[in-house]
Amino acid sequence: MDHLVQTIAVYALPVLFSITLHEAAHAYAARRFGDSTAYILGRVSLNPIKHIDPFGTIAMPLMLYFATNGAFVFGYAKPVPVAFGNLRNPRWHSLWVSLAGPGCNFAQAFVWAFASILLGALGVDEPFFLRMAMAGVLVNLAMCVFNLLPMPPLDGGRILVSLLPPRAALTLARLEPYGFFIVLALVMTGVLGALWLRPLIELGYDMIALLLTPFTALMR
């Protein structure tokens, strides 16, 4: 139980930021490109309560954590409502609206990684803060990569729909009602982790390390 409490304490802030800013980024981008649906509903907000789904964000991850002894955790936030037909250019602007969430997560991963370097440069060796910074990188890279999976209703699926020719895009879009169950099956069988999450998360770490090279050189 002590380990669970420590894990929750370390991950709570990174998870709240990753979910809140991810959904707020979608809402902001949608408003920027012509759809005010999310704005009217108060979803252009940094308030986590606006974006947390009681079951998907809290109950499901906890149930899965206890059921699998921490080996498998899965959850989701309350999706931001976007009326894609209201966008000024529905095809291309929907791409940017969908990309805004994962892009925001990658930016957060960079910030957490920079924070870990800064803590070291300042001589801060408190394990809690160092673990939180590392958790922030992992959580945001995982959320970024997971949402980029090219399967509707995930962001990657909507990005792919925007890029494909109309007929192929329509075929892929028709999978959206079944997408959640397909993704859940891929997660539970380990296919998603082995073939998508782990390789792309490692690539994300490499990209962040490259972007941080000038800062690490300055702080030596």
* Beta strand segments in the chain, E: none
Best-predicted range by mean pLDDT (58-62, 79-83, 199-203): 199-203
Count how many Cα atoms sit within 13 Å of the Cα of residue 212 in the half-sphere of its side chain: 21
Mean of the per-residue pLDDT values for the chain?
Answer: 89
pTM: 0.91
pLDDT at 119: 92
Q: Look at phi and psi of residue 193 and say left if phi exceeds 0, alpha if psi is from -120 to 50, else beta.
A: alpha
Which of these is catalytic: 23, 126, 176, 202? 23
pLDDT digits (tens, 9 = 90+) for 88-130: 999 999 999 999 999 999 999 999 999 999 998 888 888 999 9
Q: Is the dihedral of CA 100, 119, 136, 198 positive or negative?
A: positive
23 carries an active-site annotation = yes
